[in-house]
Structure 1
Amino acid sequence: MALLESNRKGYTLIELLMVVALISLFLAIAVPRFSFVHAMREKQEIKYLYKDLLYARNKAVVEKKSISFDIDLAKNSYRISEGTKEIKKVELKNGVILEGCTKGNLLFNRIGSSGNNAQTITFRTRSGDWYQITIPVATPDITLKKVD
């Protein structure tokens, strides 16, 4: 009897199948959570885009200078600058895709206005949701809304 126990090396087929089953179960639970992470990153990117627009407008008012918010659809990015001095450059990589804007260059003047025409930035997420940010001429309200 002692001879049989000392010769046992390796694992049985049932033990290997149990390990594979447990790993499969853990992966089945974890995989849907990754889509949740992507959705959170998209929402974060939308929030930062909106807040950066507010920042550019507020900076123009507070410092009484013209601040430029340039959108590059080809590179899926935007840039905030004061004259030739770049303040911030952001490349959207987490699921937000810039689709269009009324004008590629928004210029906030000393009173926070963006020129003579209202501006609209349209973008979508990888999950298929569409959004618009509207920058009106006369009022300082920049609105973000989901488009159905």
Structure 2
Amino acid sequence: MNNKRGYTLVELVVIIAILAIIVIMTIPNTGYFKSMMESSELKEFKRDIMFARNKAIVESKIYILKLMNDDNGYIVKSSSKSGFEKIKYFENGIVLNKNNNCDDIHFNSNGTVSNAKTISLHDRKGKEYRLVITPIRGLVDIKESDK
């Protein structure tokens, strides 16, 4: 007498499929992943600014970060080369504010900028961010703006 009871493979696959569907339906509604993408986009922007600063120091050339407010992106390039090091468009909810006080940021061969620069951005929820570049050392800091 074999009275072993258990679940068949088909029953287990059906249960796993139902659970997967339920989990997939709840993930997009949380907004968690969009927030993570926005955060990573801000961090990448900061890294690219630091990249331009460091390339200016290493190569002893002027590097330029050009904001493209109309296209919602930026370009990193050398002043002496034609072409670009990087072109990036914000695609995950971050938007450049149209009233930024600078279009181009020039990093001198020692990594400094001539004047302090502030770049204003906001996310899809309207939270404001300020990306501040200090003039003497060319350091970059991201701060949430107080409204």
Q: TM-score range by the shorter chain?
A: 0.7 to 0.9
Structure 2 distance, partners of 1:54, 1:44, is 15
C-alpha distance in 2 between matches for 1:119 and 1:58: 17
Q: How does 1:15-34 map to 2 (within 5 A)?
A: 26=22, 29-33=26-30
CA distance in 2, matches of 1:28, 1:80: 39
- Cα distance between partner residues in 1 of 2:137 and 2:27: 46
The structure number with the bigger radius of gyration is 1
> Does 43-52 or 77-86 show the bigger shift?
77-86
Counterpart of 1:124 in structure 2 is 122
TM-score (norm 1): 0.77
Q: Which has the higher strand share?
A: 1
Report SS of the residue matched to 1:62.
helix
Long gaps (5+) in structure 1:
1-21
Separation (CA, whole Å) in 2 of partners of 1:39 and 1:50: 17
In structure 2, what is the Cα distance between the partners aligned to 1:110 and 1:31? 45
CA RMSD of aligned residues (A): 1.8
In structure 2, the partner of 1:36 is 32
> Is contact 1:101-1:119 (8 Å) kept?
no
* DSSP-derived class of the 1:126 partner: coil
Partner of 2:136: 138
TM-score, scaled to structure 2? 0.77
